[in-house]
C-alpha cells in the first residue's frame, strides 16, 4: 500500500480532534451525516472547542469506558455497546486516506473524536504533510544485521510521529499521515530480486526478518506499561512478495503456495510480530491459493487469531476490499464482499478514497443475514482498544506520550541516529589492495559521475519522510569534502532510468583522473511499489556509462558506489582489476553524504564498514526462477544450490576477525535450546564490528527443510586485538520444521556453524567459520 501525494490532496477537514488532547465537538453530527453513504467531510459545519481533562470528565465521565480503574476489555465493551450499527459501520469503513477515505468520524454524543488511521512509519514519518527525520530505507536497516539499530530507528520514528500527531490534534488537522497508528513494518520476504517493493523488506531470511520486526515493534510502540507511543502494523499478510506489475498486477494475482513454504518462509516473521505485541496486521492485495488475503479465513482467523492468539485488528491494504469485486472477481457486489471480509477477520477498510467504501454495506449485510451484529461489534472492538491504549480516553496528564512535543522533530539526537544507521548499513563488496579507507592527499585528481551522485529523491527510496533539505548530504558532498576540486557532471539527464545518456560528456569529466567514483543504482524511478524490474541489469545506459569511464580514465582507480534495494548484475565490475572497490549503500536517505564520508575515510565510531547483504546476489539472471512461481525451491540462500555473485551475509570490513573456542552441548532434548559460547578476536589494527552469524543444518537430507538456516546473529563492536566471549542460544523453534500439518522437531543429527559468514561459501570474507555437530534426542 502506498498513501502517496497523488491521493492525499485533501482539504483540512474541520473535524473533532482525537480525545488525546480532549478536544470535544459541541455541535452534533446527525447519524446520517456521520455514517450515510453520501459522506462528505467538507460539508460538515462543526464548531469545536478545547476542553481540559476536568471539563471532559464532568461532561462524559459517567461513561464507564472513561473509568480508568476498569480493565481495558470492560471499557471497550461499554464503549462499543453504546454505538449504533450505523456508527460502527462508518468507523470500520473510514480507515483510509484522502477526502473520503478517512478519518473515522467523531461520535460527539459520547465525546469520541475523529481518528486518522493512515500513517506510514517505515523508517521515519513517511509522506507526512510536514517535515520529519529521514532514516535509511528498510532494506538498508536490515543490512546492519543489528537489532539495536532497528530499535533505535523505530523509537526515534515513533517519537516524531507521536509528537506530530499530538500537534496535529491540537490544530484540528486530520489529513492522511497525521495519526498515531503505523502501517509498518513490512515483514514480507525478499523472495525475488526483481520485485519493486524489496526495499521495504528486511531481506530474504524469515528468522532475521522476524527478529528485526520484533525490535521495530518494541521501539515504535514504546516501553510504557499502560500506554503505547504509536501502534505498529505488520504487513502484508501474506505470501506477498511480487509480482507488483510484471508480469501481472498484484491486485489480481493468486499466489499458489505450498503449506510447507507458507509455514517455513512466509508466516514466521508475522508470528514474531504478533509475539512482540503488534496492534495490527495488514492483509495483502493478492489471493492466497485462490482466496483473496483480506477474505481468507484460514489466514485471518484460523492462523492469526485462533492459532497465534492475535487480539489486534486487521486492516486492508488500500483498495483491497473493492478489488475483491473488480479485480479478483471473488464477489460481485459490496454486500457479499463486506460479508466475506468481516467474516474472515478484516476489521478496518482502507478504500481507494471512495465516497462510499465497501464497508458502508455492513448494515445491509446484517439485514440480509450475511453478517451478524454480534460479530460486527466484536470486529470494531480492537479499533477502540487501540485508541484507548494510545490514551484517547484517559487523562492526558497520565500519558507520557501525550507530552511529546515538536522539539522531537529533526532533533540533534535523531539526526545522529540517521547518520549511524546509514554508516552501519553500507556493505563493502570489494576492496582490492585495501584501497579503502581513503587518506587525504592520496589522490589529487578526482572525479565523481553517475545518476546517484547528487539525486536526493532517488537516494531516499520509497516511502520517504519529507525533511528539511539542509539536512540532506549526497555522495557528491562526501567526495568534494574529501577532494574539494573533484570534477562532477551529469551524463544521465533523466537520472537513474538513464535512457537519456550524454556519452560525449564522459571523457571531459574523467580524463586525467587518478580516482573516479561512479555512483549507480535504481531509486524509486526504477524499483518501487508498482514498478517491478524485468531483470537485474543496470538500468538504461548505466553499464555503458561505467564502461565508458573505464575506457576514458586511463589507469585511474574506480570506486563503484551502488544505491539500490535489490541485486544488480555487476559481475563484470567485480571481475575488473580497474574497479578496485564496490560498496552497496542501499537508500541511505538524508545522511548519505555524511555517512559515506565517514566510512570511506574510517572517521569516527562505527566507520569501519560491517554491513552484510540481507539477500543473495545472483551471478546471472538464469539463476532466478519465474516471478509468479511461489515455490521457494531455488530461492534465497536457504534453497538455492548454485554459486551466487555475493552470498547472503557477505560483507567486508577494514579489519579481520578470528573465531575460536566454540563450546556447546553435543546432545539436547527436543524442545530444548542449544546453548553456545564462542570467542571472537579482532586480529587487525582497526577497531571494528563483526557480525556473528550462526547457522544450523539437518543431517537427514530427506527432510523437507532448508539446506541451511540462520539461527542467531548479532553485530558486535570489538577493538583492535581485543577478544570477546559471546554466549548465545539457538532456540528449539529454529530446529522445528513443518511436516504433516504440524511443527516437528525430529531426533537425529544436526550441524552448527558460527562465524563471520555462511559456511562453505565460494566467495569468502577473511573470517573463519567454526563448525560442529550435535544430536537431538526424544
pLDDT of residue 2: 56
Residue with cell 530507528: 153
d(CA 683, CA 330): 61
For the chain, how are helix, strand and coil distributed in percent, rounded to 5?
35, 20, 45
Count of CB atoms situated within 10 Å of the CB of 759: 17
8 Å CB contact between 710 and 694: yes
Q: What is the 3-state secondary structure (H, E, C) of 522-533?
A: CCCCCCECCECC
Burial class (CB within 10 angstroms; exposed 0-12, middle 13-18, buried 19+) of 306: exposed
Q: Max CA-CA distance within the chain?
A: 82
Q: How far is CA 386 from CA 21, 109, 279, 402, 757, in A?
A: 16, 21, 7, 15, 41
Yes or no: say if 116 and 16 are a contact pair by the CB < 8 Å rule. no
- The answer to whether 560 touches 579, Cβ cutoff 8 Å, is yes
444-464: burial string, b at 16+ Cβ within 10 Å, e else = ebbbbbbbbbbbbebbbbbbb
Q: What is the pLDDT of residue 242?
A: 94
Q: Are 754 and 679 in contact (CB under 8 A)?
A: no
Find the helix packing angle between 373-389 and 85-93, rounded to 10°: 60
DSSP notation for 708-750: SEEEEEEEEEE-TT-EEEEEEEE-HHHH-EEETTEEE--SEEE
H-helix segments, 189-333? 206-221, 259-261, 268-276, 297, 320-326
In the Cβ-directed half-sphere of 532, how many Cα atoms lie within 13 Å? 21
Helix (H) / strand (E) containing 142: helix 138-143
Instruction: Determine the distance from the C-alpha atom of residue 310 to the mean position of all C-alpha atoms in its chain, rounded to a whole number.
Output: 20
Give the global pTM: 0.93
Strand partners, 742: 739
Choose among 332, 323, 189: nearest CA to 254.
323
DSSP 199: G
- Stretches where the chain sits below pLDDT 70 are 1-57
Q: How far apart are CA 660 and CA 735, in angstroms?
A: 24
DSSP line for 274-295: HHHT-SEEEEPSSEETTEEGGG
Compute CA distances 364 → 85, 116, 193, 335, whole Å.
10, 25, 44, 7
**613-649 per-residue burial string, b: 16 or more CB within 10 A, e: under 16:** bbbbbbbeeebbbebeebebeebbbbbbeeebbbbbb
pLDDT given at position 519: 98
**Ordered strands of the 254-255 beta sheet:** 254-255, 287-288, 291-292
Would you call the peptide bond into 243 cis, given omega within 30 degrees of 0 as the criterion? yes
To the nearest 10°, report the CA torsion of 58, 166, 104, 132.
180
DSSP at 177: T
Residues whose CB falls within 8 Å of the CB of residue 640, separated by 6 or more in sequence, listed in order: 616, 623, 634
Task: Tell me the pLDDT tens digit for each residue of 573-582.
Answer: 999 999 999 9
Helix (H, G, I), strand (E, B) or coil at 452: coil
* pLDDT at residue 54, rounded to an integer: 65
Cα(734)–Cα(732) distance, rounded to whole angstroms? 5
So what's the pLDDT on residue 52?
60
The neighbouring-strand residues paired with 725 are 679
Q: Which helix (H) or strand (E) holds 558?
A: strand 557-563
Q: Prior bond to 247 cis, omega within 30?
A: yes
Cβ atoms of residues 143 and 201 within 8 Å: no
CA gap 362, 83 in Å, rounded: 14
pLDDT at position 440: 81
Question: 105: alpha, beta or left, given left = phi > 0 and alpha = psi -120 to 50?
Answer: beta
| Phi, psi (rounded to 5 degrees) for 561 | -105, 120
Those residues whose C-beta lies under 8 Å from the C-beta of residue 182, and which sit 6 or more positions away, are: 119, 120, 121, 158, 161, 220, 230, 231, 232, 233
* The three cell numbers locating residue 724: 570477546
Task: Name, in order, each residue with C-beta under 8 angstroms of 426's C-beta and a sequence gap of 6 or more.
Answer: 143, 583, 584, 585, 586, 588, 595, 596, 599, 609, 611
What is the pLDDT at residue 47? 32
Residues with Cβ within 8 Å of residue 168, at least 6 apart in sequence: 174, 175, 178
Q: Are 649 and 755 in contact (CB under 8 A)?
A: no
DSSP class per residue in 613-626: -SSPBPSSGGGSPP
Give 67's contacts (C-beta < 8 A, 6+ positions apart): 61, 75
pLDDT of residue 35: 38
pLDDT value for 769 = 98
β-bridge partners, 584: 427, 562
Separation CA 456–CA 463 (nearest Å): 14
Amino acid at each position: 500500500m502506498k498513501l502517496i501525494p497523488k491521493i492525499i490532496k485533501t482539504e483540512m477537514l474541520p473535524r473533532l480532534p482525537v480525545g488525546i488532547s480532549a478536544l470535544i465537538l459541541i455541535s452534533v453530527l446527525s447519524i446520517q451525516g456521520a455514517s450515510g453513504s453520501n459522506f462528505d467531510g467538507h460539508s460538515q459545519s462543526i464548531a469545536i472547542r478545547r476542553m481540559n481533562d476536568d471539563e471532559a470528565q464532568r461532561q462524559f465521565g459517567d461513561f464507564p469506558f472513561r473509568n480508568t480503574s476498569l480493565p481495558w476489555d470492560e471499557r471497550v465493551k461499554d464503549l462499543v455497546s453504546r454505538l449504533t450499527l450505523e456508527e460502527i459501520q462508518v468507523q470500520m469503513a473510514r480507515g483510509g486516506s484522502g477526502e473520503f477515505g478517512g478519518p473515522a468520524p467523531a461520535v460527539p454524543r459520547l465525546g469520541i473524536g475523529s481518528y486518522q488511521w493512515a500513517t506510514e512509519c517505515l523508517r521515519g514519518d513517511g509522506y507526512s504533510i510536514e517535515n520529519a527525520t529521514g532514516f535509511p530505507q528498510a532494506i538498508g536497516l536490515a543490512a546492519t544485521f543489528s537489532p539495536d539499530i532497528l530499535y533505535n530507528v523505530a523509537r526515534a520514528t515513533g517519537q516524531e510521529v507521536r509528537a506530530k500527531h499530538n500537534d496535529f490534534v491540537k490544530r484540528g488537522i486530520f489529513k492522511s499521515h497525521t495519526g498515531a497508528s503505523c502501517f509498518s513494518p513490512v515483514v514480507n520476504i525478499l523472495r525475488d530480486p526483481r520485485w519493486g517493493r524489496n526495499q521495504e523488506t528486511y531481506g530474504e531470511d524469515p528468522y532475521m526478518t522476524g527478529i528485526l520486526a520484533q525490535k521495530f515493534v518494541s521501539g515504535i510502540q514504546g516501553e510504557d506499561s499502560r500506554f503505547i507511543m504509536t501502534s505498529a502494523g505488520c504487513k502484508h499478510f501474506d505470501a506477498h512478495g511480487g509480482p507488483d506489475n510484471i508480469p501481472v498486477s498484484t491486485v489480481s494475482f493468486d499466489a499458489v503456495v505450498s503449506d510447507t513454504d507458507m509455514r517455513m518462509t512466509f508466516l514466521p516473521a508475522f508470528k514474531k510480530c504478533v509475539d512482540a505485541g503488534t496492534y495490527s496486521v495488514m492483509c495483502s492485495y493478492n489471493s492466497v491459493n485462490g482466496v483473496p488475503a483480506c477474505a481468507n479465513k484460514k489466514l485471518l482467523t484460523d492462523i492469526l487469531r485462533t492459532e497465534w492468539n492475535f487480539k489486534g485488528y486487521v486492516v486492508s491494504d488500500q483498495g483491497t476490499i473493492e478489488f475483491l469485486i473488480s479485480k479478483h472477481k471473488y464477489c460481485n457486489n459490496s454486500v457479499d464482499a463486506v460479508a466475506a471480509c468481516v467474516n474472515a477477520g478484516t476489521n478496518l477498510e482502507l478504500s481507494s478514497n471512495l465516497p462510499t467504501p465497501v464497508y458502508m454495506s455492513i448494515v445491509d449485510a446484517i439485514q440480509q443475514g450475511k453478517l451478524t451484529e454480534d460479530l460486527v461489534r466484536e470486529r470494531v472492538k480492537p479499533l477502540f482498544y487501540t485508541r484507548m491504549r494510545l490514551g484517547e480516553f484517559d487523562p492526558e496528564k497520565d500519558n507520557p506520550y501525550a507530552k511529546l512535543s515538536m522539539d522531537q522533530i529533526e532533533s540533534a539526537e535523531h539526526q545522529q541516529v540517521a547518520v549511524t544507521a546509514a554508516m552501519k548499513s553500507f556493505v563493502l563488496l570489494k576492496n582490492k589492495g585495501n584501497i579503502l579507507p581513503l587518506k587525504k592527499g592520496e589522490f589529487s585528481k578526482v572525479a565523481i559521475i553517475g545518476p546517484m551522485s547528487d539525486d536526493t529523491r532517488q537516494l531516499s527510496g520509497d516511502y520517504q519522510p519529507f525533511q528539511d533539505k539542509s539536512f540532506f548530504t549526497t555522495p557528491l558532498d562526501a567526495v568534494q569534502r574529501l577532494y574539494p576540486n573533484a570534477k562532477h557532471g551529469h551524463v544521465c539527464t533523466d537520472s537513474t532510468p538513464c535512457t537519456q545518456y550524454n556519452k560525449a560528456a564522459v571523457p571531459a569529466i574523467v580524463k586525467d583522473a587518478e580516482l573516479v567514483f561512479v555512483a549507480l543504482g535504481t531509486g524509486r524511478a526504477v524499483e518501487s511499489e508498482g514498478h517491478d524490474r524485468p531483470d537485474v541489469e543496470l538500468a538504461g545506459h548505466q553499464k555503458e556509462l561505467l564502461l565508458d569511464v573505464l575506457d576514458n580514465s586511463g589507469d585511474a582507480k574506480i570506486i563503484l558506489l551502488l544505491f539500490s534495494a535489490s541485486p544488480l548484475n555487476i559481475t563484470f565490475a567485480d571481475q575488473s582489476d580497474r574497479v578496485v572497490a564496490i560498496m552497496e549503500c542501499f537508500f541511505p536517505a538524508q545522511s548519505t553524504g555524511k555517512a559515506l564520508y565517514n566510512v570511506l575515510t574510517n572517521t569516527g565510531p562505527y566507520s569501519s564498514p560491517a554491513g552484510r547483504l540481507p539477500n543473495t546476489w545472483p551471478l546471472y539472471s538464469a539463476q532466478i526462477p519465474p516471478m509468479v512461481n511461489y515455490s521457494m525451491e531455488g530461492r534465497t540462500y536457504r534453497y538455492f544450490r548454485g554459486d551466487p555473485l555475493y552470498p547472503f551475509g557477505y560483507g567486508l570490513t577494514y579489519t579481520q576477525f578470528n573465531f575460536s573456542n566454540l563450546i556447546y552441548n553435543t546432545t539436547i532434548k527436543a524442545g530444548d535450546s542449544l546453548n553456545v559460547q564462542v570467542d571472537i578476536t579482532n586480529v587487525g589494527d582497526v577497531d571494528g564490528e563483526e557480525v556473528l552469524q550462526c547457522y544450523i543444518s539437518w543431517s537427514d537430507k530427506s527432510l523437507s527443510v532448508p539446506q541451511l538456516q540462520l539461527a542467531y546473529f548479532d553485530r558486535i563492536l570489538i577493538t583492535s586485538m581485543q577478544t570477546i566471549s559471546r554466549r548465545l542460544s539457538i532456540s528449539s523453534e529454529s530446529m522445528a520444521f513443518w511436516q504433516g500439518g504440524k511443527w516437528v522437531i525430529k531426533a537425529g543429527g544436526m550441524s552448527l556453524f558460527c562465524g563471520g559468514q555462511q559456511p562453505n561459501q565460494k566467495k569468502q570474507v577473511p573470517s573463519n567459520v567454526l563448525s560442529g555437530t550435535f544430536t537431538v534426542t526424544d
